[in-house]
Amino acid sequence: MTTKELVKKVFFIEILQGLALTLKHLFTPAVTRQYPTEKREPFPGSRGLHALVRDAETGREKCVGCGLCAAMCPSQCIHIYTSEGENHKKIVDRYEIDVLRCVFCAFCVEACPYGAVVLTGHYEYSDYNRDAFYYTKERLLENWDKYMSGEKGKEYFEKFWRPKSEDFGFPTVSRTGDIKNP
- Residues forming contacts to ligand SF4 in the complex (CB under 6 A) are 63-69, 72-75, 77-78, 80, 97, 102-108, 111-112, 114, 116-117
Cβ proximity to ligand SF4, 75 vs 149, nearer residue? 75
Least distance in Å: CB of 172 to ligand SF4? Answer: 23
Cβ proximity to ligand SF4, 12 vs 125, nearer residue? 125
Least distance in Å: CB of 90 to ligand SF4? Answer: 9
Cβ proximity to ligand SF4, 73 vs 148, nearer residue? 73
| Chain length of the chain | 182
Cβ proximity to ligand SF4, 18 vs 113, nearer residue? 113
C-alpha distances in Å from residue 13, one per residue of 9, 21, 57: 7, 12, 69
Least distance in Å: CB of 128 to ligand SF4? Answer: 22
Least distance in Å: CB of 171 to ligand SF4? Answer: 21
Least distance in Å: CB of 104 to ligand SF4? Answer: 5
Q: 122 near 48, Cβ under 8 Å? A: yes
Least distance in Å: CB of 87 to ligand SF4? Answer: 18
Cβ proximity to ligand SF4, 115 vs 152, nearer residue? 115
Cβ proximity to ligand SF4, 5 vs 145, nearer residue? 145
SS3 letters across the chain: CCHHHHHHHHCCHHHHHHHHHHHHHHCCCCCCCCCCCCCCCCCCCCCCCEEECECCCCCCECCCCCCHHHHHCCCCCEEEEEEECHHHCEEEEEEEEEHHHCCCCCHHHHHCCCCCEEECCCCCCCCCCHHHHEECHHHHHHHHHHHHCCHHHHHHHHHHHHHHHHHCCCCEECCCCCEECC
